[in-house]
Amino acid sequence: MQCPVCHTEVGSQTTFCHQCGAPLSAAAGAVPGESVPEGAGVPPPAYAPPPAYAPPPAYAGQPVAANTGLSENAAAAIAYLTIIPAIIFLVIEPYNRIPLVKFHSWQSIALGVVAFLLQVIISICQIALHFIPGIFILFGLVHLVVAVGLFLLWLYVILKASKGEWFKLPIIGDFAEKQARS
């Protein structure tokens, strides 16, 4: 059997021409000798790329650009996980130039230091007042309230950082902003 458009030899079970892509079922009902208008009912070839397709740089013969791997918001939120990612983001090249990541890294470090100092002060007060009967229950509750409050604050700043907001904590936020802008 021949394709009625390009006259290429095709198999009898084939529904589209391998050469031009013309449908063979519609052409089967056509009268022999009658020409089919060019492009009529012809779908685009199956191997053609979509119109907006741009091949990745590796396939275009260009070197792959260095990818930072994390968005600014993700890096800013990860900076709060512990003090270690915050320090890493302040040292590693693509992140230490992004003001949002620098701000949240500095704020994370300052929040960690303040949380540590707050717990140390409470512990010192508990030790100093240990001679008072039942004081350990009071300081146990104080430790619990402070820990829960710091945890909720920590979750809140992670949420704000993941949205890309410059949420400043009192006093700590001013310090972090000053460090991020320098």
pLDDT tens profile 25-78: 644 444 455 555 555 555 555 444 445 544 444 444 434 334 557 888 899 999
Q: What is the pLDDT of residue 21?
A: 75
Domain coordinates of the chain in residue numbers? 1-52, 72-181
Distance, CA of 161 to CA of 153 (rounded, Å): 12
Q: How far is CA 143 from CA 134, 137, 148, 151, 158, in A?
A: 15, 10, 9, 12, 22
Q: What is the pLDDT of residue 6?
A: 80
Query: For residue 5, how many other CB atoms are within 10 A of its CB?
Result: 22
Structural Rg of the chain based on CA atoms = 34
Q: What is the pLDDT of residue 24?
A: 79
Query: What pTM, to 2 d.p., does this model score?
Result: 0.59
Say what angle helices 99-128 and 83-91 make with each other, to 10 degrees.
Answer: 150
Q: What integer is the mean pLDDT of 153-177? A: 91
pLDDT tens profile 113-156: 999 999 999 999 999 988 888 888 898 899 999 999 999 999 99
